[in-house]
A and B are shown apart, each in its own frame.
Chain A
Amino acid sequence: DAGITQSPRHKVTETGTPVTLRCHQTENHRYMYWYRQDPGHGLRLIHYSYGVKDTDKGEVSDGYSVSRSKTEDFLLTLESATSSQTSVYFCAISQTDYNSPLHFGNGTRLTVT
């Protein structure tokens, strides 16, 4: 497996609280991505990064922010969690962009009550 670690693996939080999910890679890949996976929707891109401090929005970015201060770390923050953000969140990395395969972490299951 590619060296990708997501933390925490599971989290339960209350509506309105901030939550930060962490993705750490040891592959020195340039691109990092945050996806959410929901039944019937496949994977949807939240945000991605193409370098340190270079990030952009994906398809479902509302309510989420990201930061990348080091090549190896990509943080996803839910400023004020809502029940609609209950999901499984996956981090992925790739060497280049769209034609390069993605390598995924094992996911974080987030429940917002």
Chain B
Amino acid sequence: AQSVTQLDSHVSVSEGTPVLLRCNYSSSYSPSLFWYVQHPNKGLQLLLKYTSAATLVKGINGFEAEFKKSETSFHLTKPSAHMSDAAEYFCVVSSGGGADGLTFGKGTHLIIQP
């Protein structure tokens, strides 16, 4: 069995300050982990993925995430928030259970204050 928990349903930061979106997972196998972003009235877009290579993963738009096995975490960070980063972010875990083996977190709504 696998699960994913996004620890904050809403995060609010000021433009130009760092962003931290937290994700913890549980998995019986070596997982693959993903972060997706969803802008209003749009589908989800892949930000980055971890598949057992480097533990620090760089994604698009300046985002990165670090896989920490000992803490079962995969937190998403960005050094400096931009107004265009305001969106919903989803952490996703896959444990190789087949095409239906993805588990989505419930999402974190990122608010950027001017």
Instruction: Give chain A's interface residues, CB within 8 Å of chain B.
Output: 4, 31, 33, 40-45, 48, 50, 56, 58-59, 90, 92, 97-99, 101-107
Residue ID in chain B nearest A35 by CB atoms: B104
Q: Report A-chain residues with C-beta under 8 Å of the C-beta of B44.
A: 43, 90, 92, 102, 104
Given A90-B43, A106-B42, A107-B43; A99-B96 close (CB under 8 Å): yes
- The reply to whether A98 and B49 contact each other, CB–CB distance below 8 Å, is no
10 closest Cβ pairs, A-B complex:
A104-B43, A97-B99, A42-B104, A98-B94, A42-B106, A98-B101, A101-B46, A43-B104, A104-B44, A99-B32
Smallest CB–CB gap between A69 and chain B, Å?
A: 19
Residue ID in chain B nearest A58 by CB atoms: B100
- The reply to whether B41 and A98 contact each other, CB–CB distance below 8 Å, is no
Apart from the given pairs A97-B98, A98-B102, 13 other A-B contacts in the complex at a CB distance below 8 Å: A41-B106, A43-B90, A48-B100, A59-B100, A92-B43, A97-B101, A99-B32, A101-B46, A102-B36, A102-B44, A104-B44, A106-B43, A107-B43
B residues 80-114 with Cβ under 8 Å of A? Answer: 90, 94-102, 104-107
Residue ID in chain B nearest A99 by CB atoms: B32
Q: Report B-chain residues with C-beta under 8 Å of the C-beta of A99.
A: 32, 51, 94, 96
| B74 on the A face (CB < 8 A) | no
The interface centre, meaning the residue of A58, A104, A105 with most chain B CB atoms within 10 A of its CB, is A104
- The reply to whether B42 and A42 contact each other, CB–CB distance below 8 Å, is no
Interface 1/0 per residue, B25-51 and A, CB below 8 Å: 000000010101000011111100101
Residue ID in chain A nearest B105 by CB atoms: A42
Residue ID in chain B nearest A48 by CB atoms: B99
Q: Report B-chain residues with C-beta under 8 Å of the C-beta of A40.
A: 106
Taken together as a complex, chains A and B put the C-alpha atoms of A5 and B1 apart, in Å, by 33
Given A42-B104, A42-B107; A98-B32 close (CB under 8 Å): yes
Smallest CB–CB gap between A98 and chain B, Å?
A: 4
Residue ID in chain A nearest B48 by CB atoms: A101
Q: Report A-chain residues with C-beta under 8 Å of the C-beta of B101.
A: 97-98
- The reply to whether B34 and A56 contact each other, CB–CB distance below 8 Å, is no
